[in-house]
Chains A and B, each alone.
Chain A
Amino acid sequence: MASITLEKVSVSFPVYSAATRSIKNRLIQSATGGQIRSESGSNKISVVQALQDVDLTLRSGDRIGLVGHNGAGKTTLLRVLARIYEPNEGKVLVEGSTVPLFDISLGMDPESTGYENIILRGLYLGLSRAQIRARLDEIAEFTELGDFLNLPIRTYSAGMRMRLAFAVSTAVAPEILLLDEGIGAGDAAFLQKASERLKLFTEQVSIIVLSSHSEALISRMCTKALLMEHGRVIGAGTTKDVLTQYRRMRDSLTNPVGPQASPASSGGRKKGAAHSSATPLPGDNAEAKPDWAVQTAQLVRAGRWEDVDLNRLLAEAESLGHQDSSSIEDQLTLLLLRLLKWQYRPRERSERWRDLIDEGRIQIERAVGIAPGLAEAAESHLEGVYHKARYAAARHTGLPLSAFPAECPVPLSRVLDRAWLPSEAGS
């Protein structure tokens, strides 16, 4: 029987700058006593409290969704459950074989063949060579890659790699599955087949913990949910209740423009507090959207970016992307943002991310194909659109705005060129 128990778990980690990581500074520091520390703030090691007093009990059959803003502690919690992070305080008890699937393409070796990579991925998942060999035919068949499996996977397209990674990752069901943003899987034709397999796969798993920004995914896959903020669990219950609470919390943070917003946005509120400060009726949400849009527009015009809920702005932009009415500007903004994050967060690069970039390009190409006039419009709006993306990227990556080029560094044709990706920042 699989089970997970967390008792009063707290995780904090020091963030070392290049300065504090060097021995020289360490020696100078100890020689001069604590004075440097107190005099200059830059020499202090800042500590991030990523999780605080988290209690959690999960039993077989539980499907838990984690929701919350970026930086709320969802990924840290997943890493604690995977036993990657050992908490500073509290107890963690995990019974059952656990597989974290944070990036299903992790550790694929581009120079090795498809078959070699199947074995490699299987070993990562904790299978033995014999176990993988026993399933090799089945996995190979599912990928539909045929003779390509004898070629090094650097010759594969992003979609083909995804198929391979997906097929291996879902070959053997663990008792506990930890997912960050679900499992993506290639093109539409494959998607159908993949979703059947995914369903079969997840049915065999005792406990699933899924962290996602997609409410649709959470409500489809999970029966229970946890709402997190500032490293604390501030709400727990059925998926529906928690998602409602999450929406209210978001709205209560963004609706009041001005001084009223400050008490609600200060962190560490308890469950009850979240309810009391929330918008009273769920029905209000429908009206809340245009209000919010008007206010956001005002804030953006006034240049008050710090008051804008960029997460929601992006969420809205993304949802627009799925509607036919989406404007080319929104799509271009999103594409530029993705490219900027690709460039400035090389660590988080993944096949999924690449697929998203390509998807954005295809959508724009398609729109331009229908209405060729849009190409000119996009060209002339590129700078404005780039500015939006730049602000969003600064916020997402936590880098200062000045880290990004002030003007779009490449022409539109480059942005839409499917063969092109920005290289790592600074190189």
Chain B
Amino acid sequence: MKWEQIHKAFFDILQGWRRRELWGTLGLHDVRQRYRRSTLGPFWITISMGVMVFALGLLYGKIFGQDLHEYLPFLAAGFVVWGLISAMILGGCNAFIAAEGMIRQLNAPVSIYAYREVWSSLIAFAHNIWIFLAVAWWYDVDLGWNSIWVVPALFMLLVNGFWIALFFGLLSARFRDVPLIIASIVQVLFFLTPVIWRPDMLPDRALFLDLNPFYHMVEILRAPMLGHVPDLENWVAVLLITVFGWAITLFFYSAYRWRIAYWV
């Protein structure tokens, strides 16, 4: 690979950021589009999340014999964070495929479609977070200075969501099975990741918990949301994922970015 290609890939990402008014509007439209002409609009996102959290919270609270005072805020936070991560992955896979018509007619850097997916996932997250805030308020969760860690954690997740959208978007544009494979993997990982169950419910911390990248990603944001100090181990893992993911993405994006217009 030539330096020129890497340079062009960086330039594409930079130029994409400069077109933020465009992808900002497109992302907003994407969210609005789904709930168009319904009375409550995008607040259906909030409502469906709320119903889910309460139904599953009561059920699994009983099954696991948990104190709802502890369990419900944990579940709400986990769901909201998981919603963000899975939306970025699933949306990312379709970033380029869904924008097929635009890619072939618009002379804009293709990275804008990745930004757009991350942005619309963030908008949905902003709707979901109210459920957690309501639950946290009701159960009087102690939000201290630790909660400030929410900001860097959320930023890290978005940075990761962006490479995921670029990488899997690229791969999906070429191999159309990829979005389907990823969708089923994400579904399985939902149950393998401690979202509805707590890590301390495992008799001894199983290896697959530490090897599950989603556990670390969920945990860096969920811990400060619940007022806990984030674990160093989780942060190191997420930083490693970020560096590794971006390295691979930059390699593939530099080599194949220009092919996207031909593939879609």
Interface centre among B22, B174, B178, B263 (most CB of A within 10 A): B22
Q: In the complex, which residues of chain B have a beta carbon less than 8 angstroms from the beta carbon of A14? A: 262
Does B177 sit at the interface, judged by CB under 8 A? yes
A84 touches which one: B36, B104, B178 (CB < 8 A)? B104
Contact A98 to B105, CB < 8 A, known contacts A23-B177, A85-B262: no
Q: State whether B175 touches A123 (Cβ < 8 A).
A: no
The B77-125 residues at the A interface (CB cut-off 8 A) are 101-108
Q: In the complex, which residues of chain A have a beta carbon less than 8 angstroms from the beta carbon of B263? A: 16
Does A190 sit at the interface, judged by CB under 8 A? no
Q: In the complex, which residues of chain A have a beta carbon less than 8 angstroms from the beta carbon of B262? A: 13-14, 85
Q: State whether B175 touches A111 (Cβ < 8 A).
A: no
Residue of B nearest to A348 (CB): B101
A16 vs B104: C-alpha distance when bound (angstroms): 17
Q: State whether B101 touches A347 (Cβ < 8 A).
A: yes
Residue of B nearest to A50 (CB): B262
B177 touches which one: A16, A24, A123, A126 (CB < 8 A)? A24
Residue of A nearest to B103 (CB): A84
Does B261 sit at the interface, judged by CB under 8 A? yes
Q: In the complex, which residues of chain B have a beta carbon less than 8 angstroms from the beta carbon of A13? A: 262
Does A356 sit at the interface, judged by CB under 8 A? no
Q: State whether B22 touches A103 (Cβ < 8 A).
A: no
B175 touches which one: A22, A79, A86, A98 (CB < 8 A)? A22
Q: In the complex, which residues of chain A have a beta carbon less than 8 angstroms from the beta carbon of B22? A: 123-124
Q: In the complex, which residues of chain B have a beta carbon less than 8 angstroms from the beta carbon of A84? A: 103-107, 261
Contact A21 to B106, CB < 8 A, known contacts A79-B261, A347-B101: no
Q: In the complex, which residues of chain A have a beta carbon less than 8 angstroms from the beta carbon of B29? A: 109, 112, 120
Does A128 sit at the interface, judged by CB under 8 A? yes
Q: In the complex, which residues of chain B have a beta carbon less than 8 angstroms from the beta carbon of A22? A: 175-177
Q: Could you tell me the distance in whole angstroms from the C-beta of B13 to the nearest C-beta in chain A?
A: 16
A109 vs B27: C-alpha distance when bound (angstroms): 12
A111 touches which one: B33, B174, B176 (CB < 8 A)? B33
Q: In the complex, which residues of chain A have a beta carbon less than 8 angstroms from the beta carbon of B2? A: none
Q: Could you tell me the distance in whole angstroms from the C-beta of A330 to the nearest C-beta in chain B?
A: 32
B21 touches which one: A85, A99, A102, A123 (CB < 8 A)? A123
Interface centre among B19, B103, B107, B177 (most CB of A within 10 A): B107
Does A106 sit at the interface, judged by CB under 8 A? yes
A172 vs B121: C-alpha distance when bound (angstroms): 33
Q: In the complex, which residues of chain B have a beta carbon less than 8 angstroms from the beta carbon of A102? A: 105
B105 touches which one: A16, A18, A100, A123 (CB < 8 A)? A100
Q: State whether B102 touches A107 (Cβ < 8 A).
A: yes
**Cβ proximity bits A78-91 to B, threshold 8 Å, 1 near / 0 not:** 01001111100000
Q: State whether A86 touches B258 (Cβ < 8 A).
A: yes
Q: In the complex, which residues of chain A have a beta carbon less than 8 angstroms from the beta carbon of B101? A: 106-107, 347
Contact A120 to B175, CB < 8 A, known contacts A84-B106, A106-B102, A347-B101: no
A107 vs B98: C-alpha distance when bound (angstroms): 12
Does B37 sit at the interface, judged by CB under 8 A? yes
**Cβ proximity bits B169-184 to A, threshold 8 Å, 1 near / 0 not:** 0000011111001000
Does B25 sit at the interface, judged by CB under 8 A? yes
Q: Could you tell me the distance in whole angstroms from the C-beta of A236 to the nearest C-beta in chain B?
A: 24
Q: Could you tell me the distance in whole angstroms from the C-beta of B30 to the nearest C-beta in chain A?
A: 10
Interface centre among A16, A18, A99 (most CB of B within 10 A): A16
**Cβ proximity bits B150-183 to A, threshold 8 Å, 1 near / 0 not:** 0000000000000000000000001111100100
**Cβ proximity bits B221-257 to A, threshold 8 Å, 1 near / 0 not:** 0000000000000000000000000000000000000
Q: State whether A106 touches B175 (Cβ < 8 A).
A: no
Query: What are 27 A-B pairs at a CB distance below 8 A?
Result: A18-B176, A21-B174, A21-B177, A22-B176, A22-B177, A23-B177, A23-B178, A26-B175, A79-B104, A79-B261, A86-B258, A86-B261, A99-B107, A100-B105, A103-B105, A106-B102, A107-B101, A107-B102, A119-B25, A123-B19, A123-B22, A123-B25, A124-B106, A124-B108, A126-B19, A126-B108, A347-B101
Interface residues of B (CB under 8 A from A): 19, 21-22, 25, 29, 32-33, 36-37, 101-108, 174-178, 181, 258, 261-263
Contacts beyond the supplied A86-B258, A103-B105: 20 A-B pairs with Cβ under 8 Å: A14-B262, A21-B174, A21-B175, A21-B177, A22-B177, A79-B261, A82-B107, A84-B103, A84-B107, A106-B101, A106-B102, A111-B32, A111-B36, A111-B37, A112-B29, A119-B25, A123-B22, A124-B22, A124-B106, A128-B21
